[in-house]
Amino acid sequence: MQMAVSKLLLAATSRKSCKVLLGLRVLAFSATLSAAIVMGLNKETKTFVVGNVGNTPVKATFTAKFQHTPAFVFFVVANAMVSFHNMLMIAMQLSGGKREFAGFHLLSVAILDMLNVTLISAAANAAAFISEVGKNGNKHARWDKICDRFVTYCDHGAGALITAFAGVVLMLIISAISISRLAQPYKCTSTVATPSVVP
Protein backbone atom coordinates (compact mmCIF):
# COMPACT_ATOMS: atom_id res chain seq x y z
CA MET A 1 0.00 0.00 0.00
CA GLN A 2 2.73 2.45 0.93
CA MET A 3 4.77 1.35 -2.08
CA ALA A 4 1.86 2.08 -4.39
CA VAL A 5 1.25 5.53 -2.89
CA SER A 6 4.90 6.52 -3.05
CA LYS A 7 5.16 5.26 -6.63
CA LEU A 8 2.10 7.29 -7.55
CA LEU A 9 3.50 10.45 -5.98
CA LEU A 10 6.88 9.92 -7.60
CA ALA A 11 5.22 9.52 -10.98
CA ALA A 12 3.11 12.63 -10.61
CA THR A 13 5.96 14.89 -9.54
CA SER A 14 8.70 13.97 -11.93
CA ARG A 15 9.67 17.60 -12.43
CA LYS A 16 10.18 20.35 -9.91
CA SER A 17 7.41 22.55 -11.29
CA CYS A 18 5.02 19.60 -11.14
CA LYS A 19 5.81 19.26 -7.44
CA VAL A 20 5.14 22.96 -6.99
CA LEU A 21 1.87 22.74 -8.92
CA LEU A 22 0.67 19.77 -6.89
CA GLY A 23 1.60 21.45 -3.61
CA LEU A 24 -0.18 24.66 -4.59
CA ARG A 25 -3.29 22.76 -5.62
CA VAL A 26 -3.39 20.94 -2.29
CA LEU A 27 -3.04 24.26 -0.46
CA ALA A 28 -5.75 25.91 -2.56
CA PHE A 29 -8.07 22.94 -2.05
CA SER A 30 -7.66 23.07 1.72
CA ALA A 31 -7.99 26.87 1.86
CA THR A 32 -11.22 27.05 -0.14
CA LEU A 33 -12.69 24.01 1.57
CA SER A 34 -12.03 25.44 5.03
CA ALA A 35 -13.47 28.82 3.96
CA ALA A 36 -16.65 27.11 2.75
CA ILE A 37 -16.96 25.01 5.90
CA VAL A 38 -16.27 27.83 8.36
CA MET A 39 -18.75 30.16 6.68
CA GLY A 40 -21.26 27.34 6.22
CA LEU A 41 -21.30 26.59 9.94
CA ASN A 42 -21.40 30.24 10.89
CA LYS A 43 -24.32 30.82 13.23
CA GLU A 44 -24.84 32.72 16.43
CA THR A 45 -27.87 33.08 18.65
CA LYS A 46 -28.18 35.77 21.26
CA THR A 47 -30.90 37.10 23.51
CA PHE A 48 -31.28 40.80 23.95
CA VAL A 49 -33.40 42.92 26.20
CA VAL A 50 -35.60 44.90 23.88
CA GLY A 51 -37.72 46.81 26.30
CA ASN A 52 -39.31 46.99 29.65
CA VAL A 53 -42.87 46.17 30.52
CA GLY A 54 -43.36 47.72 33.90
CA ASN A 55 -40.40 46.42 35.86
CA THR A 56 -39.68 43.20 34.00
CA PRO A 57 -37.35 43.29 31.00
CA VAL A 58 -38.63 41.82 27.75
CA LYS A 59 -36.13 39.55 26.06
CA ALA A 60 -36.04 38.54 22.42
CA THR A 61 -33.79 36.01 20.76
CA PHE A 62 -32.02 36.90 17.53
CA THR A 63 -30.03 34.61 15.29
CA ALA A 64 -27.32 35.54 12.86
CA LYS A 65 -26.97 32.92 10.14
CA PHE A 66 -25.00 33.00 6.94
CA GLN A 67 -28.15 32.23 4.93
CA HIS A 68 -29.56 35.66 5.77
CA THR A 69 -27.13 37.32 3.36
CA PRO A 70 -27.15 36.23 -0.32
CA ALA A 71 -23.50 37.27 -0.70
CA PHE A 72 -22.48 34.73 1.96
CA VAL A 73 -24.54 32.00 0.32
CA PHE A 74 -22.71 32.75 -2.95
CA PHE A 75 -19.44 32.68 -0.98
CA VAL A 76 -20.10 29.20 0.41
CA VAL A 77 -21.26 27.78 -2.93
CA ALA A 78 -18.36 29.29 -4.90
CA ASN A 79 -15.73 28.10 -2.42
CA ALA A 80 -17.22 24.61 -2.52
CA MET A 81 -17.09 24.64 -6.32
CA VAL A 82 -13.48 25.82 -6.46
CA SER A 83 -12.35 23.25 -3.89
CA PHE A 84 -14.12 20.53 -5.91
CA HIS A 85 -12.31 21.74 -9.04
CA ASN A 86 -8.97 21.58 -7.23
CA MET A 87 -9.71 18.11 -5.95
CA LEU A 88 -10.53 17.01 -9.51
CA MET A 89 -7.29 18.49 -10.84
CA ILE A 90 -5.24 16.81 -8.12
CA ALA A 91 -6.87 13.47 -8.95
CA MET A 92 -6.18 14.00 -12.66
CA GLN A 93 -2.55 14.86 -12.03
CA LEU A 94 -2.03 11.84 -9.82
CA SER A 95 -3.71 9.35 -12.10
CA GLY A 96 -3.91 10.02 -15.83
CA GLY A 97 -0.48 9.47 -17.32
CA LYS A 98 -1.08 8.65 -20.97
CA ARG A 99 -4.00 11.00 -21.47
CA GLU A 100 -2.05 14.14 -20.69
CA PHE A 101 -1.51 15.34 -24.24
CA ALA A 102 -4.67 13.88 -25.70
CA GLY A 103 -6.82 16.48 -27.39
CA PHE A 104 -7.69 19.54 -25.39
CA HIS A 105 -6.57 18.28 -21.99
CA LEU A 106 -4.03 21.02 -21.23
CA LEU A 107 -6.24 23.67 -22.78
CA SER A 108 -9.28 22.69 -20.73
CA VAL A 109 -7.21 22.65 -17.54
CA ALA A 110 -5.95 26.17 -18.28
CA ILE A 111 -9.42 27.51 -19.14
CA LEU A 112 -11.02 25.88 -16.10
CA ASP A 113 -8.31 27.35 -13.87
CA MET A 114 -8.95 30.82 -15.29
CA LEU A 115 -12.71 30.51 -14.79
CA ASN A 116 -12.22 29.34 -11.22
CA VAL A 117 -9.89 32.26 -10.49
CA THR A 118 -12.58 34.72 -11.53
CA LEU A 119 -15.24 32.81 -9.59
CA ILE A 120 -13.36 32.74 -6.32
CA SER A 121 -12.26 36.36 -6.58
CA ALA A 122 -15.87 37.44 -7.17
CA ALA A 123 -17.13 35.44 -4.18
CA ALA A 124 -14.40 36.61 -1.81
CA ASN A 125 -14.87 40.25 -2.74
CA ALA A 126 -18.65 40.23 -2.48
CA ALA A 127 -18.46 38.72 1.01
CA ALA A 128 -15.70 41.16 1.98
CA PHE A 129 -17.69 44.26 1.07
CA ILE A 130 -20.88 43.01 2.69
CA SER A 131 -19.03 42.24 5.91
CA GLU A 132 -17.43 45.70 5.75
CA VAL A 133 -20.94 47.16 5.83
CA GLY A 134 -21.80 44.84 8.69
CA LYS A 135 -18.69 45.84 10.62
CA ASN A 136 -18.75 49.59 10.14
CA GLY A 137 -22.37 50.27 9.30
CA ASN A 138 -23.33 52.88 6.78
CA LYS A 139 -24.36 56.30 8.04
CA HIS A 140 -25.78 57.50 4.75
CA ALA A 141 -28.11 54.58 4.29
CA ARG A 142 -28.88 54.32 8.02
CA TRP A 143 -27.66 50.74 8.28
CA ASP A 144 -26.47 49.82 11.76
CA LYS A 145 -23.41 47.73 12.32
CA ILE A 146 -24.04 44.25 13.66
CA CYS A 147 -20.53 43.22 14.68
CA ASP A 148 -20.69 44.79 18.09
CA ARG A 149 -23.59 42.55 19.00
CA PHE A 150 -22.68 39.33 17.22
CA VAL A 151 -18.96 39.18 17.88
CA THR A 152 -18.39 35.44 17.30
CA TYR A 153 -20.33 35.51 14.03
CA CYS A 154 -18.15 38.33 12.73
CA ASP A 155 -14.94 36.66 13.90
CA HIS A 156 -15.74 33.39 12.16
CA GLY A 157 -16.73 35.25 9.03
CA ALA A 158 -13.44 37.15 9.09
CA GLY A 159 -11.50 33.89 9.37
CA ALA A 160 -13.38 32.40 6.43
CA LEU A 161 -12.69 35.55 4.39
CA ILE A 162 -8.96 35.46 5.11
CA THR A 163 -8.65 31.84 3.96
CA ALA A 164 -10.72 32.61 0.87
CA PHE A 165 -8.38 35.44 -0.08
CA ALA A 166 -5.41 33.12 0.41
CA GLY A 167 -7.25 30.79 -1.98
CA VAL A 168 -7.59 33.65 -4.50
CA VAL A 169 -3.83 34.28 -4.51
CA LEU A 170 -3.07 30.56 -4.76
CA MET A 171 -5.54 30.08 -7.62
CA LEU A 172 -3.97 33.01 -9.49
CA ILE A 173 -0.51 31.43 -9.23
CA ILE A 174 -1.90 28.03 -10.26
CA SER A 175 -3.62 29.59 -13.26
CA ALA A 176 -0.40 31.32 -14.32
CA ILE A 177 1.47 27.99 -14.10
CA SER A 178 -1.24 26.24 -16.16
CA ILE A 179 -1.04 28.92 -18.85
CA SER A 180 2.74 28.63 -19.01
CA ARG A 181 2.35 24.84 -19.29
CA LEU A 182 0.20 25.53 -22.32
CA ALA A 183 3.02 27.53 -23.93
CA GLN A 184 5.66 24.85 -23.34
CA PRO A 185 3.93 21.55 -22.75
CA TYR A 186 5.62 19.06 -20.49
CA LYS A 187 4.34 15.90 -18.91
CA CYS A 188 3.71 15.79 -15.23
CA THR A 189 3.69 12.01 -15.04
CA SER A 190 6.40 9.52 -15.98
CA THR A 191 6.13 7.42 -19.08
CA VAL A 192 5.60 4.30 -16.98
CA ALA A 193 1.90 4.62 -16.47
CA THR A 194 1.07 1.48 -14.58
CA PRO A 195 2.90 0.63 -11.35
CA SER A 196 4.46 -2.76 -11.50
CA VAL A 197 3.46 -5.38 -9.02
CA VAL A 198 6.47 -5.55 -6.75
CA PRO A 199 6.15 -7.17 -3.32
Residues that bind another protein (CB under 8 A): 62-65, 68-71, 74, 101, 104, 106-107, 110-111, 114, 117-119, 121-130, 132-134, 138, 140-144, 146, 168, 172, 175-176, 179, 182-183, 185
41: number of CA atoms within 13 Å, CB side? Answer: 6
Q: How far is the CB of 123 from another protein (least distance, A)?
A: 7
Q: How far is the CB of 198 from another protein (least distance, A)?
A: 35
Complex with another protein: residue 8 or 130, whichever CB lies closer: 130
Local structure of residue 68 (DSSP, 8 states): G
The Cα-based distances of 90 to 18, 80, 143 in angstroms read 11, 15, 44
The per-type count for the chain, helices as H runs and strands as E runs, is 5, 2
Complex with another protein: residue 144 or 155, whichever CB lies closer: 144
Cβ neighbours, 10 Å, residue 129: 11
Complex with another protein: residue 27 or 122, whichever CB lies closer: 122
Q: How far is the CB of 130 from another protein (least distance, A)?
A: 5
Complex with another protein: residue 68 or 197, whichever CB lies closer: 68
Q: How far is the CB of 164 from another protein (least distance, A)?
A: 12
Q: How far is the CB of 143 from another protein (least distance, A)?
A: 4
Complex with another protein: residue 13 or 35, whichever CB lies closer: 35
Q: How far is the CB of 2 from another protein (least distance, A)?
A: 37
Complex with another protein: residue 3 or 50, whichever CB lies closer: 50
Please say whether the beta carbons of 63 and 39 come within 8 A.
Answer: no
The string of DSSP codes covering 69-103 is SHHHHHHHHHHHHHHHHHHHHHHHHHH-SGGGGST
Pairing of strands 56-65, 43-53: antiparallel
Phi-psi region of 165 (alpha: psi -120 to 50; beta: other; left: phi over 0): alpha
